[in-house]
Amino acid sequence: MRSAVVVGAGIGGLAAAGALARTGWEVTLLERGDRLRGDSAALLIWPNGVRALRAMDLSGGLNAIASPAPSRGIRRPSGQWMVQPDDAVERDADASVVVHREDLHDTLVAGLGDKIDIRTGVQVRAVRCEPGEQPSVSDGRSTWQADFVVAADGLDSVVRRRLVPESSVVAAGCAAWRAVIPWYRAPKLPADGAGTGGETLGAGHRFRYALLGEPGSAGVSGRGGVYWAATVPGASRPEPPATQLSLLRRWFAGWHAPIGDLLAATEPDDLIQHPVAELRPLPRAFSFPAGPGGFVLLGDAAHAMSPHLSQGACLALEDAATLRVLLKDAIPGRTLQGALDAYSRARRPRLARILRQSRRVGAVYSANGTLAVRARDAALGLTPNRLLGRASDTVRQWRPPA
């Protein structure tokens, strides 16, 4: 039987493992955590991510957990619109949605079926990639060999470090926090357009929020509430969460409603701080031959980027959906090697383009200093599509390969 090892059970690894198992691969999934779980924040899933989930037959699960994403539009801290919301885009068939990360994890875990060999508490430490040998990984005690290995072990991927030592993780110059406030202690939301969520940009500071389910309800899955994400310039903060929360309240003091109320309703335990970093340079390839197949890099392990486009998970889902199509009928040996090479050729140019766009959007968002912010706000107000639209369109228009 054709065999695969998937390292890492994040969104990318779970999606790839399930997709491969459903097309006849014997899959072993290795995860360093003691169980399979997502964190307690939320995610925006853009149309490309929705299409990828549909291509992997997971859209039924998505429908059960998704809430509509807020319409696109950007405000100033005063509440004045800088970029008017674009409702037309959000009404199309593949409209963006917002989901609780734990719900998405549960959906992907349900998609694994009962044939996958799941090993938790396994931290891969060694990688063997030799032309004449089956690819293998090891945690120092046991070794797992297969026709090919999917490296979905995230930003600090051990597998990528072995295969592409020249790519390093570089801090993106900002710190990011996320939280979900359950409905029972969420503040009352304004009745104007800001009530459904949205995005606000200040001098290098950015705040977004979205609703998980109907206000006051338990949410579609019982994990409903108000999701928010904030980005500020500088490095990650080492202080305890209660101090980080005080800092966030001070940085966003005076911003339009309900931002202050959301931060006031957040408790230290709700707060998740994330390292914001990207890979430089982008790996030269996303596949590496070994034995009858080789290794592929997927998700943040292949193309971690700063979250300015909010696309990392969607791109990991695209990777998994692409692998599924290309590997469906691949036989270990020449056709598998060809399929892994085709994966790299299909994915890398797109990711190189998106990474450039993400940096450009990051520069727009991080404008700091009075003059730079004024120039940025004026340009965004006049020609948002020139600054942001093209990036967003390239990303959103993806279709799975036939």
DSSP-derived pairing of the beta strands 3-7 and 148-151? parallel
Q: Quick one: which segment of 43-51, 67-75, 235-243, 360-368 binds ligand FAD (CB under 6 A)?
A: 43-51
Interface positions, 291-330, toward ligand FAD (CB under 6 A): 299-301, 307, 310-314, 316
- Cβ closer to ligand FAD: 98 or 327? 98
Distance of closest approach, residue 385 Cβ to ligand FAD, in angstroms: 21
Residue in 65, 66, 146, 158 binding ligand FAD, rule: CB under 6 A = 158
> How many C-beta neighbours within 10 Å does residue 281 have?
12
User: Cα separation of 392 and 387, whole Å?
Assistant: 10
Residue 120, φ and ψ in degrees, nearest 5: -95, 165
Residue in 152, 181, 340, 388 binding ligand FAD, rule: CB under 6 A = 152
Site map for ligand FAD, 107-146, x if CB under 6 A? ---------------xxx----------------------
Distance of closest approach, residue 152 Cβ to ligand FAD, in angstroms: 5
Interface positions, 11-40, toward ligand FAD (CB under 6 A): 11-13, 30-33
Site map for ligand FAD, 193-222, x if CB under 6 A? ------------------------------
Interface positions, 240-299, toward ligand FAD (CB under 6 A): 274, 276, 299
Distance of closest approach, residue 207 Cβ to ligand FAD, in angstroms: 12
Distance of closest approach, residue 208 Cβ to ligand FAD, in angstroms: 8
- What distances in angstroms separate CA 332 from CA 17, 52, 134, one per listed residue? 17, 25, 10
Distance of closest approach, residue 226 Cβ to ligand FAD, in angstroms: 15
Residue in 6, 20, 44, 226 binding ligand FAD, rule: CB under 6 A = 44
Chain residues in the site for ligand FAD (CB under 6 A):
7-13, 30-33, 43-44, 49, 122-124, 152-155, 158, 176, 178, 229, 274, 276, 299-301, 307, 310-314, 316
